[in-house]
Structure 1
């Protein structure tokens, strides 16, 4: 049998943001929604953000390359950290997107193997791991 995850154990694939808009801008968005250009306010905002990111795509790609960053999802497993520890390596992790540290990683293993972790996006890790790495999270 394959593994089955309960819904409450699943991590969201997006992050909720809150922003303030002027009344006129909000009214203009509502007008576009009412006219059927967008299904709702969130659809408009997501579309606008994607267009801006696309227009700056080359800059983003060059910056990721220049800073030696990984783009997307980066899972950091206990096995990977144990392998680094056994090889005497210290990892410097840089991610644009989502970095997840496995729940079975101990704070001691994380401190022994992660020299620095920079995440432009979201870092998902158990609270004790975040606390152990607090001085290394940038």
Structure 2
């Protein structure tokens, strides 16, 4: 029975994995705070530190988003979206702060015909062939 279940739309990941290098003293200080129960683990500390810093810089981020006319959040582009842009001769300028994704059924040819530029601050999900086709248009 479970073999008959199909996702209508693939689930979009809610986060992106980062790798950072920290000095031994900083790492030890984080471990001390974790051991003393201030944070559940290293990742919890780092997520909290990042959120706190982003909150402190919130006004600067908002001004920059408005100035650069970035879409904030998740932006998904379907094959139909790109076909409509191509057919109307109005190529898309994708500018996103967050996650921009292009549907898996979009061909590299359609992507090149419909997308003039891609600027993503965050994560850009598309098939490897579509990313390759848009490489010269991606900032």
Same fold (TM over 0.5): yes
Superposition map of 1:110-125 within 5 A: 110-125=111-126
SS at match of 2:89: coil
- With normalisation by structure 2, the TM-score equals 0.91
Where does residue 74 of structure 1 map in the other structure?
75
Q: Give the SS at the match of 2:16.
A: coil
Distance in 2 separating the partners of 1:37 and 1:106: 49
The structural deviation recorded for 1:10 is: 4.1
Tell me whether 1:29 sits opposite 2:38 in the alignment.
Answer: no
- Correspondence 1:20-59 to 2 at 5 A: 20-59=21-60
1:5 aligns to what? 7
CA distance in 2, matches of 1:12, 1:84: 26
Match of residue 103 from structure 1: 104
* 1:12 shift after superposition: 2.6
**Can you list the C-alpha shifts for 1:40-72, whole angstroms capped at 9, x where unaligned?**
000000000000000011110110110010111
Larger mean CA deviation between 12-21 and 51-60 belongs to: 12-21
Using the TM superposition, give the Cα deviation of residue 23 of structure 1 relative to its aligned residue in structure 2, in angstroms.
Answer: 1.2
Q: How many residues align?
A: 134
- Cα RMSD after superposing both structures: 1.5
CA distance in 2, matches of 1:41, 1:14: 16
Which residue is equivalent to 1:93?
Answer: 94
C-alpha separation in 2, matches of 1:127 and 1:26: 35
Mapped partners of 1:95, 1:10: distance in 2: 19
